[in-house]
């Protein structure tokens, strides 16, 4: 075992124990009402243990967060693709040109 695996086990085992204890402590059935205006309406009430609702909310939050990050990073992926396309074009141009000698190069100072 390497150090990374040992550190992972040191972290994951206590987290797993805490999650199991949390699940055992929150087994009572809880009603989730999806109609905030009429709480007596039983057609939109679902019963499940509390830990199920909490894990479901966590999973939905992770999915929404991942989708949000994916959409916000679109401009960076597009810029990377454009840069790679430009680089490929420049490589193609360089391969078509004859070898340049030192006298053919000009230095431009942009400062």
CA distances from 90 to 67, 85, 96, 97 (A): 34, 9, 10, 11
CA gap 68, 20 in Å, rounded? 30
pLDDT tens for 23-50 read 899 889 998 888 888 877 888 889 999 9
- Identify the band that residue 107 occupies on the pLDDT scale cut at 50, 70 and 90: low
pLDDT(7) > 80 = yes
CA gap 93, 72 in Å, rounded? 34
What pTM was estimated for this model as a whole? 0.59
Burial class (CB in 10 A: 0-12, 13-18, 19+), 55: middle
**Mean pLDDT within 55-62:** 94
């Amino acid at each position: 075992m390497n150090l990374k695996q040992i550190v992972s086990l040191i972290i994951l085992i206590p987290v797993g124990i805490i999650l199991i204890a949390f699940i055992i402590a929150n087994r009572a059935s809880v009603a989730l009402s999806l109609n905030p205006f009429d709480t007596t309406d039983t057609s939109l009430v679902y019963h499940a243990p509390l830990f199920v609702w909490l894990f479901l909310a966590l999973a939905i939050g992770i999915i929404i967060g991942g989708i949000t990050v994916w959409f916000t990073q679109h401009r960076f992926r597009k810029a990377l693709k454009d840069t790679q396309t430009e680089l490929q074009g420049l490589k193609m141009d360089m391969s078509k040109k004859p070898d340049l000698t030192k006298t053919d190069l000009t230095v431009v100072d942009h400062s």
